[in-house]
Chains A and B, each alone.
Chain A
């Protein structure tokens, strides 16, 4: 730590020495607590200073109990420090984590950073060497959506199919395990891993890439693969739901981290859509077309045993998904209501599913967005799709929502004080032409879409987005704020009764969590499509947000909305950290 020494006055020097003493003491405390035992993640509620796992805790609230920053003093909130990771292809898309005053995060190319949470000073970095020839053939690469912490290690996946562990203290590599033959299958890992007890769990990309979308369990200590679960035909029962052996090119995957329910020892994970995205069988999809049948376990919520990878129970949100409306969103909110233990999960289609936490039986289904016509409805008692819009080859007009979905992959947030669930909804539609395709699997797997399409405004209005505060179980709306373009970043809510919304144009906005009224904003200079957390270092609360633009959904904005997206860079991004000044201004 080298402050600008020539500027230190004698008064400043005394202060500096005192601070150094404090730092050393804190350092010592951290060295005993620093390993992040998995029990700390189970009890994450008890350590609001930290953000130990992607969703904040296994409850998936994206809520920080910290309340130093609140609606009364937020007007003083200012940038405390910034970190620029470089090579930020498609913007930063990960979720920072914080433990014992240290902030950890990943950038594009799975670059890892450990920073002093109070100053942003670099403690260590690790830049894995990736197969760049492979990356040149990948569509989604090379962004990274986050890391996991535990057992003294930081875990990150790579787009060339590896899961890597490095030492939390030094960044020294601990192990590096190749899990997927990405050179052949094209997909790798972009999503964050989830640590559950002694196992690191990570799901592969898949969806429109015709393979079988595996989820892996890996020994946190050794890097040895413990199990692999195929989201496409992972059981004999599931195999029977893919006619003509179409499971071989089924798609699937689980590209966002789910969560863990310690009470039932179940890992909940959302799975991706089948390939091709669009199916020309029309209403004969049970028997005809490229993938006849239900296509288990795509566009489903599955519960796996973390120790064995065995399927405990599941619910397929969209049987035979013909619209690319994954269940891959990783949020699984633990909500207890009237003695019932529930799990709330958003589906890309714009519907929110509420499950019984013990068996994934449907407790309710509600709509977050208005423009939905791929089904007439989903039965809130059974989850059954009513009035499916199954399309045959040829032209189809005004399918809603459009391919980026009514809900995107970044997370919402739930505030236990307000009792409200905050979530971005997307209102847009598209025209398309369904085209019969053949999966390309040699020599390297290629996208299999099965349609040409164009995004458009919904009938009678403009494409737009909104953030609303709602009852997570009934969907009852308390307030809603409209955005001319849907924000694409994760949300954060805090004990200071605040909701942070990093928007697409570049503003980080803070809303009153109870009323939705805007109380503060700051322009970060580029759009957001990544994570946001709050943590505390040396007793002070910080809010850390990732900036940078260019996710595959954001890519649509230039054509749809014009400026500022036409000229917005897609190769930059930074970690921007906010705090209150030491003395109020």
Chain B
């Protein structure tokens, strides 16, 4: 295996994990997660897992009108991107353009945001 393949493999693992996560229901998810995520979750006990609220807290500043219109960041409503892409972008961000949220939001929260984006009317 050449060194350049390492990130690819990791990516594949990660994608698999996402599918797994998507497949699992909320409670099962919490149990399936490693302890670090559980810790995060208890520390964030006060923060509701509500995609709409999370979006207005930390995303709407750049994605205008709650993701319905382009602003600093692109319009997200009606996105043709697949779930992996969107989850990946939220987790990792894009340097110089969008912050990464993987340390701050747990999977449950990120999926709630994805569900919120998907529920936005396309037009």
Contact = CB atoms under 8 A, between A and B. Distances in A.
Contacts of B97: 570
B72 interface: yes
A448 B64 contact: no
B78 interface: no
Contact of B95 (A136, A451, A452, A550): A136
Nearest to B71: A559
Contacts of A288: none
B66 A137 contact: no
A570 B95 CA distance: 11
A450 B117 CA distance: 17
Contacts of A449: 56-58, 60-61
B60 to A, nearest CB: 4
Contacts of A550: 96
A137 B65 contact: no
Contacts of A446: 57-58, 101, 104
A90 B96 contact: yes
A287 to B, nearest CB: 21
A447 B58 contact: yes
Interface string B90-103: 00110111011101
Interface stretch (B2-10, B20-28, B41-49): B41-49
A438 B56 CA distance: 10
A207 to B, nearest CB: 11
B71 A556 contact: yes
B70 A451 contact: no
B72 A556 contact: yes
B53 interface: yes
Interface string B57-77: 110111011111111100000
Nearest to B45: A442
A435 interface: yes
B100 A438 contact: no
| Listed residue (B48, B62, B64) with the most chain A CB atoms within 10 angstroms of its CB | B64
Given A438-B48, A438-B53, A448 B58 contact: yes
A7 B7 CA distance: 51
| Listed residue (B43, B67, B104) with the most chain A CB atoms within 10 angstroms of its CB | B104
Contacts of A440: 44, 47, 57-58, 104
A305 to B, nearest CB: 35
A489 interface: no
B40 interface: yes
A138 interface: yes
A555 interface: yes
Contacts of A435: 52-53, 56, 60
A137 B57 contact: no
B61 A447 contact: yes
Contacts of B70: 558-559
A448 B56 CA distance: 8
Contact of A443 (B65, B92, B95, B103): B103
| Listed residue (A139, A276, A570) with the most chain B CB atoms within 10 angstroms of its CB | A139
A268 B20 CA distance: 56
Interface string A130-156: 000001111100100000000000000
A442 B48 CA distance: 13
B73 to A, nearest CB: 8
Contacts of B95: 89, 135-136
Contacts of A407: none
A251 B53 CA distance: 19
Contact of A442 (B40, B68, B72, B93): B40
A438 B24 CA distance: 27
| Listed residue (A276, A437, A570) with the most chain B CB atoms within 10 angstroms of its CB | A437
A350 B52 CA distance: 31
B65 A453 contact: yes
A443 B56 contact: no
Interface in A553-576: 555-556, 558-559, 570-571
Given A443-B104, A556-B71, A452 B64 contact: yes
A557 to B, nearest CB: 10
A409 B104 CA distance: 29
Contacts of B96: 89-90, 142, 550, 570-571
